[in-house]
Structure 1
Amino acid sequence: MNANLFGILMEDNSVLNFFYDVPNDAYYYEAVKWAAENGITGGVGNSLFAPNQPCNRAQIVTFLWRAAGSPVVNYLMPFTDVDEGAYYAEAVRWAASTGIVTGLTETTFGTDSVCTRAQAAAMIYRCAQAQGKGFTGAWMFHLPFTDVPEWAYESVAWCYMNSVTTGVSETSFAPGNDCTRAQIVTFLWRAFSK
């Protein structure tokens, strides 16, 4: 593993952000660079990105919100477990107002619940739909993955068809696996950087 320091230089040559744990030969290097340059993530502190750390619902929704330009919405917060002063409060409000997320219950968002790969694909697809990029009309697509649950099939199919994900193998998407910070940032980069 190449342990080079990763940095982003601003126009005035100051360093915006850097991550010691993002090797320049990692599959997620360009995605993390894009996310840092665009203010989607600033890492976890101490010059670390924590690429293999599972991502929770609050983090993923915040990444999506920032990728969408941090829109402010006038929408009553439906979840009692989201503190209005939390860094993710506006992101959750936006995601709930657009249908990108639903709660674990009607009143519980589950901010600290780890997101699975299937849940992340569903959020990304709903975000794409909100931007007019989802499937239109009837669609038929056969995924090469044999492990995608019915509820996530359309989302994973859209992600696969748009090169957001290629799965973990030729026949497996691993929908129940935790979605890591490296994976979600890579998914976002592939879905929304163009």
Structure 2
Amino acid sequence: MKKTLTSIVLGVLLTGSLTSVVEASSRQSIYSDLSMNNTFYESVYSMNMKEVLEADYTDDGKILIKSNEVVTRGDAAFMLYMLLGMEPDTTLGFPDVDPSSPYYEAVSTVASRNIVSGYEDGKFHPEIVLTRSQMSRIIAGAFNYTVNANATVPFTDVNERWTPYVDAMYRHGVTAGVTPTSFAPDKKLTRGEMAAFMHRAYKKVPGSAYTEFEVMNVVNEATRKTRNVIVQGLAKHFPNQKAADISSDMSQLAIDSYLSLSLVGYEKSCYNCDGANVLSDFQFGLPYEILMQSDTLLKMDATVPTNSINSGHRAIIELVRSGDSWKIKSYVTRSFTSDPLALTIDQAIDYLSYAVPVYWQEDVATIRHTGKDNATGYDLFVVNGKTTYLFDRNSGYLDRR
């Protein structure tokens, strides 16, 4: 649960158990345990694409999102920490949240911001399951809602302690209750419900207020969703795919010029090969720059590294806000031949200290540059005195020898 933007593996996610949707759409649920007809699907999908809500991947290729599982205090701290791109603040610690805990940074940070407090015994108790009423206080604090001590709500089952926080959520359109007169304050909070509350609250956050990390989250969500649409369209229609297969779905995610470009690319793609015209994840451990940021426009220059299958590139991606969602407007690439990364050795070591644990599951204590590989010309780096990695400082290519 480190605060890093990793590349979610979104290959062929289709199985016979997945739910098909309305005509003129090729979309299917990417989760084997959650239908697109589920009330929480779009919220869960958005939070998962932002890496706020984590999924489990099975050995047989299924993705489990477990939307009916309960949310603990530690879970909630991590989700909000990731969603809002908070700068780590570990000045406030708790004896039951060790620095080795996956929740450590998140818990310390949200507690330092007084979004979530500890208990009278001085502990945080990250394992305690949240109720919907407790969640209302956390959401109100995380999104800086004004809390009215004398508030009233239409829900007859909410007591005086929680009314100000439920009211704040109600006024901001984050909740309408489980019925017009009931909020179910004592019900244990599920992952699906938490995703829905966060999704509704976050849609109202202006783009100009995003942190750098939030901009990355939004860009990743946009690229991953378009990739899913194209891959699912190919799975259903190849080799006779037509733009009409996915035009309706893609128009929810992109506008011209990228919309036209993606539809042409879809028609020229193949299935079960490396030639599908899909957007790869940017690697934000490599150089990037936010070029423009406003309430209605995000523009970023970032890197897709070369890997063992595909050539990478540098690209400028532009997103525009349409209602509550961000859509891709343009995507302009540059080759590493014309614009190499040209990382220094120190920059390469800094990147490997991030990338090796994420992509190769090897914790890094030391990294040492040992020269160049004679066959490829790539730089050689020895991690922890035992494992050698090849790295191209111009294209971001990384492999383990």
Q: 1:74 to 1:80 in 2, by over 3 A?
A: closer
Amino acid in structure 1 at the alignment position of 2:146: F
In 2, distance between residues paired with 1:139 and 1:82?
Answer: 32
Deviation of 1:193 after TM superposition, in Å, equals 2.8
In 2, distance between residues paired with 1:179 and 1:74?
Answer: 27
Amino acid in structure 2 at the alignment position of 1:4: L
**Paired residues of 1:4 and 1:24 also in contact (CA < 8 A):** no
Question: In the TM superposition, what are the counterparts of 1:61-140 in structure 2 within 5 Å?
Answer: 61-77=77-93, 79-129=94-144, 134-135=145-146
In 2, distance between residues paired with 1:152 and 1:191?
Answer: 18
Aligned counterpart, 1:10? none
In 2, distance between residues paired with 1:151 and 1:140?
Answer: 11
Aligned counterpart, 2:191? 181
The DSSP-based 3-state class of the residue aligned with 1:149 is: coil
**Paired residues of 2:152 and 2:163 also in contact (CA < 8 A):** no
Aligned counterpart, 2:284? none
Q: Deviations over 1:43-86 (max 9, x none)?
A: 24532111111111111111111111142124131x11102111
The DSSP-based 3-state class of the residue aligned with 1:58 is: helix
Aligned counterpart, 2:33? 21
**Paired residues of 2:90 and 2:105 also in contact (CA < 8 A):** no
Q: Which moved more, 1:104-113 or 1:22-31?
A: 104-113
Question: RMSD between aligned alpha carbons?
Answer: 2.1
Amino acid in structure 2 at the alignment position of 1:182: G
Aligned counterpart, 2:175? 165
In 1, distance between residues paired with 2:80 and 2:194?
Answer: 9
Amino acid in structure 1 at the alignment position of 2:124: F
Amino acid in structure 2 at the alignment position of 1:135: T
Higher strand share: 2
Deviation of 1:20 after TM superposition, in Å, equals 1.3
**Paired residues of 2:92 and 2:108 also in contact (CA < 8 A):** yes
Deviation of 1:5 after TM superposition, in Å, equals 6.7
In 1, distance between residues paired with 2:154 and 2:177?
Answer: 9
Task: Flag as ranges the 4+ runs of structure 1 deviating above 3 A.
Answer: 138-141
Deviation of 1:154 after TM superposition, in Å, equals 1.1
**Paired residues of 2:172 and 2:201 also in contact (CA < 8 A):** yes
In 1, distance between residues paired with 2:143 and 2:34?
Answer: 27
In 1, distance between residues paired with 2:190 and 2:90?
Answer: 31
Whose RCO is larger (CA < 8 A, sep 6+)? 1
Higher helix share: 1
Larger C-alpha radius of gyration, 1 or 2? 2
The DSSP-based 3-state class of the residue aligned with 1:150 is: coil
**Paired residues of 1:5 and 1:19 also in contact (CA < 8 A):** no
Deviation of 1:38 after TM superposition, in Å, equals 1.2
Identity percentage of aligned residues: 30
Q: 1:5 to 1:65 in 2, by over 3 A?
A: farther
In 1, distance between residues paired with 2:172 and 2:56?
Answer: 29
Deviation of 1:105 after TM superposition, in Å, equals 2.5
Deviation of 1:162 after TM superposition, in Å, equals 1.2
The DSSP-based 3-state class of the residue aligned with 1:101 is: coil
Aligned counterpart, 1:13? none
1:34 paired with 2:50, answer no
Amino acid in structure 2 at the alignment position of 1:98: R
In 2, distance between residues paired with 1:44 and 1:88?
Answer: 18
Q: 1:19 to 1:156 in 2, by over 3 A?
A: same
Deviation of 1:34 after TM superposition, in Å, equals 1.0
Q: Deviations over 1:92-115 (max 9, x none)?
A: 011110000111334211111110
**Runs of 5+ unmatched residues, structure 1:** 7-17
1:50 paired with 2:60, answer no
Q: Deviations over 1:92-150 (max 9, x none)?
A: 01111000011133421111111000011110001111xxxx227x6764311011121
**Paired residues of 2:151 and 2:163 also in contact (CA < 8 A):** no
In 2, distance between residues paired with 1:69 and 1:22?
Answer: 27
